[in-house]
Structure 1
Amino acid sequence: MKIVLATSNKGKIEEFKKLMPNDDVCAFETLIGKIDIEETGTTFKENAVIKAKAVYDKIADEKVVVISDDSGISVPLFNNEPGVYSARYAGKDATDCANNEKLISKLNAHNVTTTKAFYTACIAMVYKNEVYTVHGWMYGRVIDKCIGSKGFGYDPMFIPDGFEQTLGELDSEVKKALSHRSRALKLAKKVLDVIL
């Protein structure tokens, strides 16, 4: 099955390829070039659907499945920030480092070294012009420093429930088993098994 990912995030593309080793997975840019998709939604689901539909409409091929995910980290202490703004928390085109620094400064401003947090992933699938969505979550806590160089995004400052190490330190197979995206993708595969 040809799976087209509605993302240009290299970390997400690699993660999807590892999670879907038996499918022909490619980034949308390899088929239609770079397009700018404005994420105007206020929820992960809205943004995932916006991205998937935009790419599907450009490709205009009913034989492909376009998959998009919108995901991020939420910290209940900060009214669930950064939430849907996780990738641009420190501003448009912010680096992972800048986003992490902003979250660390927020922890410092509240005089806490760690607090509860959770990751959310919404996966949207568009096939034959129908839209399907699923969600996955991973719970844990954020800390006020970055530890480890594995993963991307907020991984070096997130410790999943039941662990003492950050996602930036954990082996990729361990992370794959617990990740919000893995959990959402397992549900997405069930949907794909029904619709394909």
Structure 2
Amino acid sequence: MRIILATGNKGKIEEFKKLLPNEEVITFKEIIGDYEVVEDKDTFQGNALKKAQEIYEKIGDEEAIVISDDSGITVPDINNEPGIYSARYAGVNANDKENNAKLISKLNEKNLEKTPAYYTACIAIIYKGYPYTVHGWMHGEVINKELGSGGFGYDPMFIPTGFDKTLGELGYEAKKDFSHRTKALNLAKKVLDVIL
């Protein structure tokens, strides 16, 4: 089956391709070119649905399977930041390093070397005009420095529960077994099995 991803995030695209090795996974840009969906909803679910719906409508093929994901990290001790703003925490076009630096500075403001945090992933599927959503979570702690060069986003700052290394140090092979996106995608696969 061909799955169209409603994302331009290279890290997410690679992760989806690795998690769906038996499917043809392409990005919406390969069909309609550059297009930006404004993420203006106040939940991960709202943003994921908006991206999937808008791309589905732009493609104009009722049989298309469009999948989008909205995800991020939440740190309760700093007012649940960055949350839905994870990708643009340090500004609209911020990169991972800039976002991580802002989170480190926020932790340092509160003298937090390590504090509980969790990742959320919401995956939205649009097929034949119908929306479906699933969620996955990964709990652990965020630290006030970067360790390791694996993964992307906040991975070098996040130590998952049951581990003593960051996702940046553990690498993809470990992360793929329990990440928020893996959990959400396993549920999404079940949805696809039912609707297709």
TM-score range normalised by the length of the shorter chain? over 0.9
Superposition pairs of residues 101-180 of structure 1, within 5 angstroms: 101-180=101-180
Q: Partners in 2 of 1:135 and 1:21 — Cα distance?
A: 21
Q: TM-score, normalised by structure 2?
A: 0.99
Q: Percent identity?
A: 64
In 1, are the aligned partners of 2:67 and 2:124 still within 8 Å (CA)? yes
Match of 2:55 in 1: 55
In 1, are the aligned partners of 2:78 and 2:107 still within 8 Å (CA)? no
Q: Partners in 2 of 1:2 and 1:146 — Cα distance?
A: 37
Q: C-alpha root-mean-square deviation of aligned residues, in Å?
A: 0.6
Q: Partners in 1 of 2:89 and 2:82 — Cα distance?
A: 6
In 2, are the aligned partners of 1:2 and 1:63 still within 8 Å (CA)? no
- Structure 2: where are the runs of 5+ without partners? none
Structure 1 residue ranges, 4+ long, deviating more than 6 angstroms after superposition: none
Q: Partners in 2 of 1:171 and 1:90 — Cα distance?
A: 25
**1:172 CA drift (Å):** 1.3
Q: Partners in 2 of 1:180 and 1:70 — Cα distance?
A: 11
Match of 1:17 in 2: 17
In 1, are the aligned partners of 2:48 and 2:124 still within 8 Å (CA)? yes
Q: Is 1:72–2:75 an aligned residue pair?
A: no
Worse overlay, 168-177 or 10-19? 168-177
What is the count of residue pairs matched by the alignment? Answer: 196
- Structure 1: where are the runs of 5+ without partners? none
SS in 1 for 2:141: strand
Match of 1:85 in 2: 85
Q: Which amino acid aligns with 1:53?
A: Q
SS in 2 for 1:41: coil
Cα deviation 1:45-94 (Å, max 9, x = unaligned):
00000000010001111222000000000001012110000000001110
Q: Which amino acid aligns with 1:42?
A: D
Q: Partners in 2 of 1:172 and 1:128 — Cα distance?
A: 33
Q: Partners in 1 of 2:36 and 2:95 — Cα distance?
A: 18
Match of 1:184 in 2: 184
Match of 1:37 in 2: 37
In 1, are the aligned partners of 2:136 and 2:184 still within 8 Å (CA)? yes
SS in 2 for 1:7: coil
**1:171 CA drift (Å):** 2.9
SS in 1 for 2:189: helix
Q: TM-score, normalised by structure 1?
A: 0.99
Q: Partners in 1 of 2:174 and 2:166 — Cα distance?
A: 11
Q: Partners in 1 of 2:112 and 2:63 — Cα distance?
A: 51
**1:97 CA drift (Å):** 0.3
In 2, are the aligned partners of 1:96 and 1:153 still within 8 Å (CA)? yes
Q: Partners in 2 of 1:178 and 1:78 — Cα distance?
A: 25
